[in-house]
Amino acid sequence: MGGLPAVRTIYLDNVSTTRPDPRVVSAMSPFLAEGFVNPSSPHREGQRAREMVEAARAEVALLAWCGSEEVVFTSSATEANNLALKGLCRARGRRGDRLLVSAVEHPSILQPARSLAQEGIQTMELPVDSQGRLDLDCYRRSLDPRVCLVSLMHANPEVGTLQPVLDAARLAREAGCFFHTDATLTAGLFPSIWNEAPIDLMTVSPHHFHGPRGIAALLVRGGIRLRPQEEGGTQEGGIRGGTEAVALLAGFGAAARFARFEAAERRQRLVFLQADLRRRLEKSLEDWVPTGDPVERLPGHLSLCVRYVEGEAVLALLDDEGILAGSGSACTRDAMKESHVLRAMGIDPVLGRGSLQFSFSAFNRPDEVEEVARILPEVVRRLRRISPFTPSGG
């Protein structure tokens, strides 16, 4: 049958999720078709499934440079973050009743922190600078013996800034506080961070390094006690009950193995693609402001605010052209609220409405950068011609 030619898709929303590596899909396939048994079953097929679970745990441990016994599997990074905050604070009781988080954390940190505040845990949201980076002086002054836990993400998905996790973790350890980092976006690119800093809890999610969705892990330093958030299961040492998803774990293990050997090459490639797009836009796109730290940032992540347009409108027209990007826009799709990240950075709300982000993965190519740099300026010009915010004559 005839019809319109298919629109080529350029996927640049990798901070949301990444394309599964075909090698990962291949590793999962046998357990989707036949390896469906419960790993807790005593028969030989159950034991085979158990071996797969433990093999995956070993691969995650090798990626993160931790012990296998320190890997606790969860269903998502959101669950892992909730387990870190609620599990530790509730286990500690009144032995430390303060929780420190940055003002730019993911909602899966901020919302549990606010829930804990209703249980008597004092929660403090620490300020960041204009690049979204933690104010270390304020953080240092906030540490005291009453602080139970500090949670600081490694990379911000909206503006790409890498947080000073190594310094923050060391300061927490000196003050006698536990330290958690959400390394959802970085575990597959900076796998040695657990070994380099005194981090007590770390969230890892494979769908950000070409693994499957629906599985994640919380790394828990030996000797730390967490209160389970679900009761009735003995899996994961009793910390997180529920029948294990063997196929997803097989994919997690495979993704961790490939990331371990390919992380350095991936970082180098992503930095090149991001820098190439920025250089091209500096020549072809007018009136835009880069956001986030220009140097200490997530490899392959370019974030910017374009003046006189709505970021969501830009994304819609890019979508029509086959380019899938993201927006840390001043309005969320569901709540229509100003971005808490841009607000914490002090970015003007009007400018923030034009927020965009382009995030690359191992599957993106240089010719895709050239295509985006060609199409984006024309999309912006089209919108500015009809925008009431465009200055006269713009």
Report the chain (394 residues): mean pLDDT per 10 consecutive residues.
65 97 96 78 82 94 97 97 96 80 97 94 96 97 95 97 98 96 97 94 98 98 92 84 90 98 97 98 97 97 97 96 81 62 95 96 97 98 89 64
Contact 187, 320 (CB under 8 A): no
Q: In this structure, what token pair is assigned to residue 359?
A: 């995030």
Contact 153, 102 (CB under 8 A): yes
Stated length of the chain: 394
Q: Say which residues have a Cβ less than 8 Å from residue 263's Cβ, sequence separation at least 6.
A: 188, 189, 190, 191
Residues of the chain with CATH 3.40.640.10: 22-259
pLDDT tens digits, 141-197: 999 989 999 999 999 999 999 999 999 999 999 999 999 999 999 999 999 999 999
Q: Would you state the pLDDT for residue 244?
A: 85
Amino acid at 289: V
Active site positions, annotated: 331
Residues of the chain with CATH 3.90.1150.10: 263-386
Q: In this structure, what token pair is assigned to residue 108?
A: 């899966």
Q: Would you state the pLDDT for residue 382?
A: 96
Q: Would you state the pLDDT for residue 1?
A: 42
Q: Calculate the average pLDDT of the chain.
A: 92
Contact 24, 162 (CB under 8 A): no
Q: What gap in Å lies between CA 343 and CA 358, rounded to an integer?
A: 20
**Whether CATH 3.40.640.10 fits 22-259:** yes
Q: What gap in Å lies between CA 99 and CA 74, rounded to an integer?
A: 23
CA distances from 331 to 310, 311, 355 (A): 10, 9, 10
CA distances from 199 to 101, 173, 183, 319 (A): 15, 8, 11, 40
Specify the CATH number for 263-386; select among 3.20.10.10, 3.90.1150.10, 3.40.47.10, 2.40.50.100: 3.90.1150.10
Q: What gap in Å lies between CA 197 and CA 170, rounded to an integer?
A: 7
pTM score, whole prediction:
0.93
